[in-house]
Amino acid sequence: MRIQAAVVESRGGPFTIRNLDLEEPRPDEVLVKITAAGICHTDLSTRAFWPRLPMVFGHEGAGIVEAVGEQVTTVAPGDTVCLSYRSCGTCGQCASGRTAYCDAGITALNASGTRTDGSTGLTLMGEGVYGNFFGQSSFATHALAYESNCVKIPADFSPTLAAPLGCGVQTGAGTVLNVLQPAAGSSLVVFGAGAVGLSAVMAAVAEDCAVVAVDPIASRRSVARDLGAVAALDPAEVPDVAAAVRDIASDGPHYAIDTTGRSAVISQAIAALRQRGTLALVGIGKSAEFDIMTVMAKGIQLRGVIEGDAVPQSFIPQLIKLYEQGRLPVEKLITTFPFSDIEEAARAAAAGEVIKPVLTLS
C-alpha cells in the first residue's frame, strides 16, 4: 500500500515526507493507521549517527489497527492501540515479566532497521527503506507493528495523550512506580526535566513524595513546580547543586533519577543523596566518571533502567487510569504539530522550546 513517511536520508539530515510503499502484514505483524506520534529524544539523537539509510524513525505511535496477520490474536482490526517497544516474549527475561531486558536485546528487535530476517517492509521507488524502529517506525501514516508492542487502549482516549505513553512517559513514570517504588513522604530529586524527567516528577508527586527538579531551562522548571515539585533549581545559578538539594531534602533525598547521562550530573546526584540512597540511571550516555569511594562510603545503590522496567500491556493501562484520576496530567507536557511540520517539531524539541512534541495525523 502507498503511505507517507518522514524519511531521514543522510546522517543528521532532516525528516523529509516521502511517498513510500508498505508491505501487507506478515503472519506475526499488525498494520496500524497512525493517528499520533510522539517525538522522543532518542529519535533525534539516533538520526545523527544512524548508519543504515534511508530510514524511518518514530517509536511513540498511537492509532487504529487496520489489518493483522493470521498468527495475531491479541488485537483485531478496529482496535485503538498505543505502540511501545518490542520484545520476543519467550526468553527467560520476558517469561519473568522483565520484557524491557529481553534476551534478544534492544538492537535485534528495536534498533537494527530491519526485521530479524534482514528484510524491511518499506520501499521508495522499488528501493528498500530501513524501518522497524522499536518494532514500528511510526513517523508515517501507517506502520507495521507486533503483538508484543501493540497495547489495546480505550477508543475514546486521545491519541495525542496516548502516543507518549509508549516510551517517554512510560520510562519516567515507570522508573518511579516500578523501580524505586518510594514510600509516601520520601524525597526524590530528578536531574533533567524533559519529558522523561517530568513524567517521573508526576509519578513521584502522585505517590506523595517531596520532589526537587534540576534543569537549566526556565520553562521546564516552571512546569515541574506546576506539577507539584517542592523546588526547581537552575544548575547555572546554584554554586553547589548537591548542597542545595540536600538543604531542601533534609539529609539529602532518598532517591535520585538522572535523565541526562552526563558524568558531572551523575556525580551531583551521588553527592546529593543521603546515606544508602538510590540513583536510577535513565539517561543514555556512552560512559560516565564518578567517585567510586563516595558511592561505597555512602552505600549508594546504582540502578540502570530501560523503559521504566515496564511491561507495556499492563503498565500503559495503569498510566491511563492515573491520567483519568487526575494524577498524571500528561497534557501539560505536550505541544501538537501537524505531521507535515515534523522537522519544525524536531527543531523546537532540540532547542528546548517544547517538552514533548506530538505529531497529529488524520
Tens of pLDDT along 152-166?
A: 999 999 999 999 999
Q: Is residue 312 part of a domain?
A: no
Identify whether 156 is part of a domain: yes
209 and 251 assigned to the same domain? yes
Hey, how many other C-beta atoms are within 10 angstroms of the C-beta on 248?
18
CATH code, domain with 248:
3.40.50.720
Q: Cell numbers of 39, please?
A: 517525538
pLDDT at 187 exceeding the cut of 90 = yes
Give per-residue pLDDT as tens, 82-113. Answer: 999 999 999 999 999 999 999 987 889 999 99
pLDDT of residue 146: 98
192 with 221, same domain: the answer is yes
Note whether 83 and 105 are same-domain residues: yes
Pair (152, 38) in one structural domain: yes
Give the tens place of pLDDT for each residue, 165-175: 999 999 999 99
Pair (187, 139) in one structural domain: no
Average pLDDT over residues 128-146: 98
**Is 319 within a domain?**
no
The single-letter DSSP state of residue 332 is: G
Q: Helix (H, G, I), strand (E, B), or coil: what is residue 312? A: helix
Cell matching residue 177:
512506580
Reported as a single tens digit per residue, the pLDDT across 3-56 is 999 999 999 999 999 999 999 999 999 999 999 999 999 999 999 999 999 999
pLDDT at 184 over 80: yes
At 286, the pLDDT band (50, 70, 90 cuts) reads confident
220 and 252 belong to one structural domain: yes
Average pLDDT over residues 291-320: 97
Judge whether 322 lies within some domain: no
- In this structure, the answer to whether residues 127 and 198 fall within a common structural domain is no
Q: What is the domain count for the chain? A: 2
**Do both 96 and 205 map to the same domain?**
no
Q: Answer yes or no: is 231 within a domain.
A: yes
Look at residue 323 in the predicted model and tell me its pLDDT: 98
What is d(CA 43, CA 49) in angstroms, rounded to the nearest whole number? 11
Q: How far apart are CA 283 and CA 191, in angstroms?
A: 10
Distance CA 62, CA 159 (A): 6
Domain of residue 49 covers 2-166+329-360
Whether pLDDT at 362 is above 80:
no
155 with 182, same domain: the answer is no
pLDDT of 287 reads: 86
Residue 223 phi, psi dihedral angles, 5° rounding: -65, -40
Same domain as 76, residue 11 = yes
pLDDT at 308: 98
323 within some domain: no
Residue 46: give its domain's CATH number: 3.90.180.10
pLDDT confidence of residue 31: 98
Residue 19: CB atoms within 10 A of its CB come to 12
Higher pLDDT, 336 or 105: 336
Name the 3-class secondary structure at 182. coil
In a domain, 318, yes or no: no
pLDDT at 167: 98
Q: Are 6 and 16 in contact (CB under 8 A)?
A: yes
Residues 52 and 9 grouped into a single domain: yes
Q: Do residues 132 and 83 lie in contact, with contact meaning Cβ atoms separated by under 8 Å?
A: no
Q: What is the mean pLDDT of the chain?
A: 97
**Torsion of the alpha carbons at 54, 60, 62 and 65, rounded to the nearest 10:** 50
Q: Mean pLDDT throughout 203-230?
A: 98
Contacts for 181 with CB less than 8 Å, ≥ 6 apart:
none
**Do both 125 and 248 map to the same domain?**
no
d(CA 178, CA 186): 15
pLDDT of residue 166: 98
Helix spans in the chain (H): 41-46, 92-95, 105-110, 159-162, 168-174, 195-206, 218-226, 241-248, 263-272, 292-298, 312-324, 342-350
| Assigned domain for 316 exists | no
